[in-house]
Amino acid sequence: MSKPINTAAHIRRNGIEPPPELARISAETPLVQVEAEGLLFSGRHWLATGYDEVRAILGDNRFKMLPPAQAKLGGGGQVEVGNLLQYDPPDHTRLRKMLTPEFTLRRIRRLEPFVAEIAEDCLDALESAGQPGDLVRTFAVPIPGLVGCALLGVPRDDAADLARNFNASRAVANFGNRIDDRERERQRAAGNAFVTYMRRLVRQKRRTPGDDLLSMLIRDHGADITDEELTGTAATLMGSGIENVGGMLALAPLALLQYPDQLALLLDRPELIDRAVEELIRYLSSVPNSIPRYAGENLRVGGHLIKTGELVMCSLLAVNRSQLPGVPRDTLDITRENSGHMAFGHGIHHCLGASLARMELRIGLPALLRRFPKLRVAVPPEEIRFRTWTPNYGVDELPVAW
């Protein structure tokens, strides 16, 4: 067994770049035991950084989302009902099968005109507010928030309060134990308000279904899915969109501004947008790590024995940013083909909303650059506040001028 490495490299970033230690670990010991503090877990666990090791772990359903009942582990073990990221088969299979039809490419394309309209409205608001403007608050977060509302049948007038409550409930992740009890209680209240709204929405859809995702689930699977599952599903879909897509809609322009040659190329050749989006998703890996897995039995990966109940973390950032053969360093290249990246995960938990996320980026990013071709960050680089203690990497705010 490899010697444990006392590092938290997989939960640290240097701006948009991975720490050098992560590349070293990936090259030398692609599966190793580490000690680290984290949001979802703390202590000793396995860290997989190699492509083959990560693919093997994420593709093997014997690695569970929750610890086996017989494993004596601290924390964990409580399922968020309706959250597919915490489900194992057969419950995962049942619920995902219900959701998959709504996320086909054909159905996602129906939302394209709506997303384009939302993007322009957000850019109008950013321009009207004047310079400098916060790209996160006026552009990156509202787009996936409003798209999620349309998907779930949430009235547009409720979107701002819903997103505000969600963001407030997640703020604890930025500061860990450093917040006081009063602030923690405010965050807990915001989280309760967010879930309570979703619960009321589900009950309303049961009474008067429309043409949204929740109504589709009720019409097609009403007797097979509970209100609690629908509530959890709605909360997870909305929250994931705001965090994941919202994070990327801020990080992607920031990355292009840090690589002006790539920004100039995209402005000159807008037909590269599909490749650019895929490359930005790979390069930034806004979800740097997979949800932790637990070995459901003794399992061998890459010559190592992972014992029943042991926790395994897979670094998607390390896999996506591995040193490329023949390339001096990994750089942002919007002409690259990126069919092999794992930014959306792998296996049965591959991101259900991947097509939707790509579409929002493919529409939102060009709209931003068309409106503000001279976009620039309005603060020195050292003043950009990155979110470092959240499962989803991003920035708290991004002041920009144009």
- The model's confidence at residue 77, banded by pLDDT at 50, 70 and 90, is very low
* Contact yes or no for 169/161 (Cβ under 8 A): no
Residue 201 phi/psi, 5-degree rounding, is -60, -45
**Averaged pLDDT of the chain:** 87
Cα separation values, 42 from 292, 376, 377, Å? 11, 38, 35
DSSP 289: B
Angle of helix 260-268 relative to helix 354-371, nearest 10 degrees? 90
DSSP 270: G
- Give the pair of three-digit tokens for residue 77: 């073990």
The pLDDT value given to residue 351: 93
Interacting residues of 192 by C-beta distance below 8 A, sequence separation 6+: none
> How buried is 63 (Cβ within 10 angstroms: 0-12 exposed, 13-18 middle, 19+ buried)?
buried
**What is the distance, to the nearest Å, from the Cα of residue 107 to the centroid of all Cα atoms in its chain?**
21
- Strand pairing partners for 35? 44
Say what percent of the chain tops pLDDT 90: 62
* Amino acid type, 271: E
* Amino acid type, 110: R
Which of 105, 136, 118 is CA-nearest to residue 364?
Answer: 118
- Domains of the chain, each with CATH number or no CATH: 9-401 (1.10.630.10)
pTM of the predicted protein model:
0.90
**149: pLDDT strictly greater than 90:** yes
Report the alpha-carbon distance of residue 235 to residue 18 in Å, rounded.
Answer: 30
Report the alpha-carbon distance of residue 264 to residue 83 in Å, rounded.
Answer: 41
The pLDDT value given to residue 148: 93
Residue 19: asked if its preceding bond is cis (omega within 30°), the reply is: no
- The model's confidence at residue 74, banded by pLDDT at 50, 70 and 90, is very low
Report the alpha-carbon distance of residue 57 to residue 310 in Å, rounded.
Answer: 13
- The model's confidence at residue 203, banded by pLDDT at 50, 70 and 90, is very high
The pLDDT value given to residue 392: 86
In tens, the pLDDT along 300-327 reads 998 999 999 999 999 999 999 886 555 5
**158: pLDDT strictly greater than 50:** yes
